[in-house]
Chains A and B, each alone.
Chain A
Amino acid sequence: MRILVGCKRVIDYAVKIRVRPDKKGVVTEGVKHSMNPFDEIAVEEAVRLKEKKIAKEIIVASIGAAQSQETIRTALAMGGDRGVHVEVSAAEAETLQPIHVSKILAELAKKEKVDLVFLGKQAIDDDSNQTAQMTAALLDWPQAMFASKVEQKDDKLEVVREIDGGLETIRVNMPCVISADLRLNEPRYATLPNIMKAKKKKMDKLKPSDLGVDVTPRIEVISVEDPPVREAGATVADVDELVSKLKEKGF
């Protein structure tokens, strides 16, 4: 089995986000970035599949500006075999949408002839939760999203999914697309020796046009604003007053 893992470089979860003065986005300059946590979980699961000798090769891909290479190197240090950096300009990176990313990943999956595309369920910067689903649709491959357990059963993959109603277990044929949810695993720290070895691993560089994908934005961000400052509440005397106030406010 050969796996394509996608990872995205996002603002670190611990950073206090600030809106840019031009209100077109958030401040990213000089801000700490890391691999999207759900992507880390996907990388970890792929590495575990390789350690169990179920997977033979792990290809790590990232679409973004030059610094995305750092994210790929982190995944290689965790156990990925080689990297593919689909490079876009910093401006293009800002307007990149799940539809563009999923087209690129679909082309890569075909080009690399993989059996499994493993992604994080959503990125913590835009919370889109679309890329994995769209990639599966573009490839016309089965999808198993929000995976909290992945096991090989004969020539299929049995995946336990976290859904609103609880846990759902499905079996998917390969090739397929899986998206990782929080409880799938706990990602390892890359060891120092592996970090040093990672820099020798192969990293291919491509442009979206090499894969025939147009990343012209179809959506324009009009404005980004802070959530409204929380206003003071009011005390009510009794339940009747509470009910009438709720009705008044239209709830």
Chain B
Amino acid sequence: MAALQIGSRLLRRVLPRFNQLYSTETSNNADVGTDNGPLISSLDPSSGLNDEQRQIQKMATDFALKEMRPYMDKWDQEELFPVDTMRQAAALGFGGVYTRTDFGGTGLNRLEASIIFEALSQGCVSTTAYITIHNMVTWIIDTYGNDKQREHYVPKLASMEHFGSYCLTEPGSGSDAASLSTVAKREGGKFIVNGSKAFISGGGESDVYLVMTRTQGEGPKGISCLLIEKGTPGLSFGKKEKKMGWNSQPTRAVILEDCEVPVENVIGAEGQGFNIAMAGLNGGRLNIASTSLGAAQASIEATRDHVKVRKQFGQSLASFQHIQFEIAQMATKLVACRTMVRNAAMAMDTKHPDIVTLCSMAKLFTTDTCFDIVNTALQLHGGYGYLKDYPIEQYLRDIRVHQILEGTNQVMQILVSRAALK
């Protein structure tokens, strides 16, 4: 036993990445891996996790199934923003999952965040997706903000007393994000901001808006991240968008008309805004992929139960080979997606050089593939899959946008091709 320990210690020094496979430490911000051996992803979402991660996953799943799932259709149909439920989630630590603990964050790593969001999305994809956006905003302020900003904003965001929105996209700049044209002109101790942002999740409800603005020249280097609080004169919102899904969170344009923002509200350095936006999105892409994963997991389980019970031609659907093969394909794709997402999460946690590529690949592959999985699940439910009595159609509508936002899957291919063609 001692020889084994010395061996693994040596190996850890020689091969830094060995640590992520055979770490015997339980997780903290930098550590990855499990007490129980390598992280093997499988059909069971808890496969390969250590005891603490399993407990976290179980708590998140219980919360999702009891506090979110019974209401997910009501929130969708009545377009309700479930503030109380989200604050309940934040009280358990879900408001700042991977934000440092100094000002109220929970201090978990990206792997654990992925596990949490995968679990929560089984309860409601749309609400969980908003929670991930909120987490991204909280993390940006905590990571790039100065201590005064962190102290002022992070505690209320971590508890969800305040809600946060991330404002990058504009009517004229979506995939070409660096060409954004919202301008922040410096006048003495403040910026005068003019422009508009489109499709902002939480727009109109959120208290804190992280707005990417042009403070200097053209291109990404001229962009700064400005924190603008709701109620600031000159900050207004467009109409609430009517969407295919994500209906439990409001989406609005954010309009800035001679909006005065104190210079102290720059997060990070001037000109660092685009880098901050992209750093936030790396994790954001994993979060979105994780929520697609949760919807796919729930859909496969629902399908498994349905085909065992539903009978046609004198047999249960589960006894037909075609049905078995469809489910086999769904299961195989699910495990492939889960492996990619957790792999990319561990890459982030160990500061692997390929973070951007791996997160892009994971987002691209998982959001596309999970849509196929849920779509197939709908088909296997037959006519019932089309009814709102069953959760499948809502999972499908909700995850469709995951192939579009936080970087379209086409932009993901641009990023991956850069790495592959180097």
A189 to B128, CA, bound (A): 18
Note all chain B residues with C-beta closer than 8 A to A70. 51, 54-55
Pick from A1-9, A104-112, A134-142, A191-199 the stretch touching chain B.
A191-199
CA distance A191 to B26 in the complex (A): 18
Q: Are A73 and B59 also in contact (CB < 8 A) when A191-B91, A192-B97, A192-B108 are? A: no
Q: Which chain A residues (153-212) contact chain B, with CB distance < 8 Å?
A: 189-193, 195-196, 198-199
Q: Do A192 and B51 touch (CB < 8 A)?
A: no
Check if A63 is an interface residue, CB within 8 A of chain B: no
Chain B interface residue count: which class?
Answer: 20 to 34
A side interface size, CB within 8 A: 16
Chain B: which residue is nearest A74 at the CB level? Answer: B55
Judge if B62 is at the interface, Cβ distance under 8 Å. Answer: yes
A97 interface residue (CB < 8 Å to B): no
Distance in angstroms from A67 CB to nearest chain B CB is 9
With beta carbons under 8 angstroms apart, the residue of A30, A69, A191, A198 that contacts B93 is A191
Please give, as numbers and ranges, the residues of chain A lying within 8 Å of B101 by CB-CB distance.
193
Task: Say yes or no: B58 contacts A34, CB within 8 Å.
Answer: yes
Q: Are A192 and B52 in contact (CB under 8 A)?
A: no
Q: Name the residue on A nearest B54 (C-beta).
A: A70
B121 on the A face (CB < 8 A): no
Q: With a CB–CB cut-off of 8 A, which chain B residues contact A189? A: 59, 62-63, 92
Nearest residue in A to B93 (C-beta to C-beta)? A192
Q: Is B56 an interface residue (CB 8 A)?
A: yes
* Contact A195–B52 (Cβ < 8 Å): yes
A192 near B106: Cβ-Cβ < 8 Å: yes
A132 at the interface (CB under 8 A from B): no
Q: Are B56 and A192 in contact (CB under 8 A)?
A: yes
Given contacts A34-B58, A192-B56, A192-B106, contact A199 B51 (CB under 8 A): yes
Q: Is the CB of A192 within 8 A of B58?
A: no
CB within 8 Å of A: which B136-191 residues: none
Q: How far is the CA of A43 from the CA of B248 in the complex (A)?
A: 34
Contact yes or no, B26 A199, CB < 8 A: yes
Q: Residues of A contacting B209 with CB < 8 Å?
A: none
Which of chain A's residues have a CB closer than 8 A to the CB of B62?
189
Compute how far the CA of A189 lies from the CA of B119 in the bound complex, rounded to whole angstroms: 15
Given that A70-B51, A189-B62 are contacting pairs, would A195 and B56 also be in contact in the complex, using a CB cutoff of 8 Å?
yes
Chain A residues lying within 8 Å of B108, measured Cβ to Cβ, are 192, 196
B365 interface hit (Cβ, 8 Å): no
User: Closest A-chain residue to B96, C-beta based?
Assistant: A192
Q: Is the CB–CB distance between B55 and A193 below 8 Å?
A: no
Smallest CB separation, B86 vs chain A (Å): 14
Would you give the 0/1 interface string for B33-62, flagging 1 where the beta carbon is closer than 8 Å to chain A?
A: 000000000001000000110111011001
Asked if A190 contacts B52 (CB within 8 A), the reply is no
Determine whether B94 belongs to the interface, using a CB cutoff of 8 Å to chain A.
yes
Q: Nearest CB to that of A199 among chain B residues? A: B52
CB nearest neighbor in B for A67: B51
Q: Could you tell me if A192 and B94 are in contact, using CB atoms closer than 8 angstroms?
A: yes
Smallest CB gap from A196: residue in B: B52
Chain B residue with Cβ nearest A30 = B44
Within the complex, the shortest CB–CB distance from A119 to chain B, in Å, comes to 22
A10 to chain B, nearest CB (A): 14
CB atoms of A195 and B63 under 8 A apart: no
Q: What residues of chain A lie closer than 8 Å to B107, measured between beta carbons? A: 196
- Min CB distance B223 to A, Å, is 34
CA separation between A192 and B91, bound complex, in Å?
9
Complex Cα gap A198–B63 (Å) = 19
Closest to A191 in B: B92
Q: Which residues of B contact A30 (CB under 8 A)?
A: 44
Contact of B51 with A193 in the complex, beta carbons under 8 Å: no
A190 vs B101: C-alpha distance in the bound complex, in angstroms? Answer: 17
Which chain A residue has the least Cβ–Cβ distance from B308? A16
A46 interface hit (Cβ, 8 Å): no
CB-defined contacts of B94 to chain A, threshold 8 Å:
192
Cα distance, A34 to B57, chains bound together (Å):
13
Chain A residues, Cβ within 8 Å of B106: 192-193
A33's nearest neighbour on chain B, judged by CB, is B58
Asked whether any CB of chain B lies closer than 8 Å to the CB of A77, the reply is yes
A193 to B44: give the CA distance in the assembly, Å: 25
